Amino acid sequence: MNNHLSYMERLQAMEQQLLQDHLRQMEQHRTKGEHDGRRNLPAVADETIPPQERQVIAVYQSKADEVNGLVRQLLYDVKYSKWQPAVTELLQWSQPWVDQQIGQATQLRDRRLSESAENHFDRLKVLENAPSYSRAKSDLEAAENRLNTVAGRLGRYEMHHKIAPFWAVAIAVAIGLLEIPLNLQTFFVFRDSVLMTLLFCLSLVVIMPILAHITGRFFRQGSERRSYYFIASAMSLAVIVFSFFAGQLRTERIENAPEVSSPFFITINILFFIAAAMASFLAHDPSVSLSDAHRGVSRERRRHAGTLAHFEAEIRKETDRYQQEKEEIQREFSRAESEAQNRQSALQQKVHEATALYNQILSIGQGLERAQQTQSHAIILSRREENLKFRTNHAQPKSWSMALPGLSLSLQEVPEMTWPLVTV
C-alpha cells in the first residue's frame, strides 16, 4: 500500500459493491416473495426455516466472509509494513542509540571530507604542475628572488621615484615636439630636399629627448656606477656644443636677426635639455640593480599574464567547488544529526498514525460485516412481507415466528490495536 487513501479506497469500493448487490437482491426477493405468496408457500404448518431464506443467509454469509478477508489483509499490511517497523525501531531508540547514529553520521562526514580534500589537492596538483603554469611561476619566482636579493642588500624594496616615469617620457616628447619648427628652419641651410630636411629634423627630435632621458638617469644612478657620471657629463657637453652650432645656424637663417638671437637659441636648447634631463632624474631610482630587478618582475608578469590568469582562475574555480562540496557535506551531516535527535518523536508519530489507521480499517470492516447481517434480515423480512400480502389464506407460517439466524461475524472478535499489539 502506498498511502492511507489506497486502504480507504478499497474499503469504499467494496461498500459500494455490497450496497448495489443488496439492492438487486432486495428487488429479486420481493418478486420471489410475491410469487411464493400466490402459491401459499411456505405452508402454514412448516416449522423450519424455508430453503429460500437459508439461501439468503448463505449468500450474505459469503459476503461477510469477503469483507472479513479484505479487512484482515489490510490490517495485516498496516501492522507489518507500518506499525511493526516503527514499533521495533522505537523500542531500540534510546540515548546510546541516538549517540550511535550521530557517531556513524560523524564518521561518514569525516570520511567524505577526507576524500573531498584528497580529490581537491589532487586537482590542484594537476593544475599547478601544468608545464606552462610551472614555467610561468618559475620565471616570475626567479625574477622576484632577484628583486628580493637586491632589496635585501640595499635595505629597501620600494623605488625612490619623485615623479612617475610616464611623466618623464611625456615631458621629453613634448619638448621634442616644440623644437620641430626651429629644427626645420635650421636644416634648410643644407639646401637638401624638403623630405631630407624633414628627416634630419625628426631624427633630432627623437635623439635629443633620448639623450636627455639617458643623461638624467645616469646622473641619478651615478652613485652606484661611477662611469655613469662621465658618460652623462660627456653627453651634456655634446648637447651644449650642438646647441651652440644650432643657435648659430638658426640666427643665420633669420633675416635681420638681433645680436642676442644666437645666445637665445643656445639657452632655449640647453633649458629644454635640462628640463627633460631633470624629469628623467626624478623619475629614476638611484639603484641600477633595484630598477632592473623591478623591471624584470614587471616584464615576467606581462609575459606570462595570460597563462597565470588562466590557471589562477581555474584554481579559484576548483577552490570554490571544494568549498561548496564541504558545505554540502556539513549540511547533510547536520540533517542526519537533527534526524537522529528528533527520530524518537517521529517514530512515535508513525506508531500513532499506524495505530489510528489500523483501528479505522477495523471499525469500517466491523461495520460492513454487521451490515451484511442487517441486510440479510431485511431481505428476509421484505420477502415475507410481500409473501403475506399475496397469500390467499392470509395465514403466517409457524416458521416465521422463529428467530432469524445470525451470521458468523469474526471481525467483531478482533480487538483494536494496542501496544503491545494483540495478535489478529
Lowest mean pLDDT segment, chosen from 47-61, 69-83, 161-175, 324-338: 161-175
How much of the chain, in percent, has pLDDT values that exceed 70?
78
**Coil, helix or strand at residue 255:** coil
**Do 176 and 208 touch, CB atoms closer than 8 A?**
yes
For the cut 60, the answer to whether the pLDDT of residue 192 exceeds it is: no
Residue 36 has pLDDT above 70, yes or no: yes
C-alpha cell at 164: 612617475
pLDDT, tens digit (0-9, with 9 covering 90-100), for 281-330 = 777 677 767 777 878 888 888 888 899 899 889 999 999 999 999 999 99
d(CA 1, CA 357): 12
Express each pLDDT in 115-144 by its tens digit: 999 999 999 899 888 898 889 888 888 888
CA angle 270, 271, 277 (to 5 degrees): 90
- Residue 381 pLDDT greater than 90, yes or no: yes
Lowest mean pLDDT among 242-256, 269-283, 314-328, 380-394: 242-256
What is the pLDDT at residue 371?
94
Q: So what's the pLDDT on residue 1?
A: 44
Q: Hunting for cell 629614476 — which residue is that? A: 284
Residue 179's pLDDT band, with cuts at 50, 70 and 90, is low
What is the model's pLDDT at position 176?
65
Q: What are phi and psi of 101, to 5 degrees?
A: -65, -40
Which candidate, 72, 3, 85, places its Cα nearest to that of 347?
A: 85
pLDDT at 299: 87
CA dihedral 71→403→53→12, nearest 10 degrees, is: -20
pLDDT at 250 over 80: no
Distances (CA, A) of 339 to 91, 327, 352: 17, 18, 19
Q: Which of 159-173, 208-222, 389-403 has the lowest mean pLDDT?
A: 159-173
Q: Return the pLDDT at 260.
A: 43
Task: Give the pLDDT band of residue 235 (cuts 50, 70, 90).
Answer: confident
Higher pLDDT among residues 251 and 47, named by residue:
47
Nearest CA among 276, 157, 175 for reference residue 217: 276
Burial class (CB in 10 A: 0-12, 13-18, 19+), 146: middle
Query: What is the predicted pLDDT for the residue at 376?
Result: 93
Average pLDDT, the chain: 81
In this structure, the number of other CB atoms found within 10 A of the CB of residue 94 comes to 11
Please choose, from the candidates 28, 17, 19, the residue with its C-alpha nearest in 3D space to the C-alpha of residue 55. 28
DSSP 30: H
Phi, psi of 420 (to 5 degrees): -75, 155
- Taking the C-alpha atoms of residue 122 and residue 320, their distance in angstroms, rounded to an integer, is 15
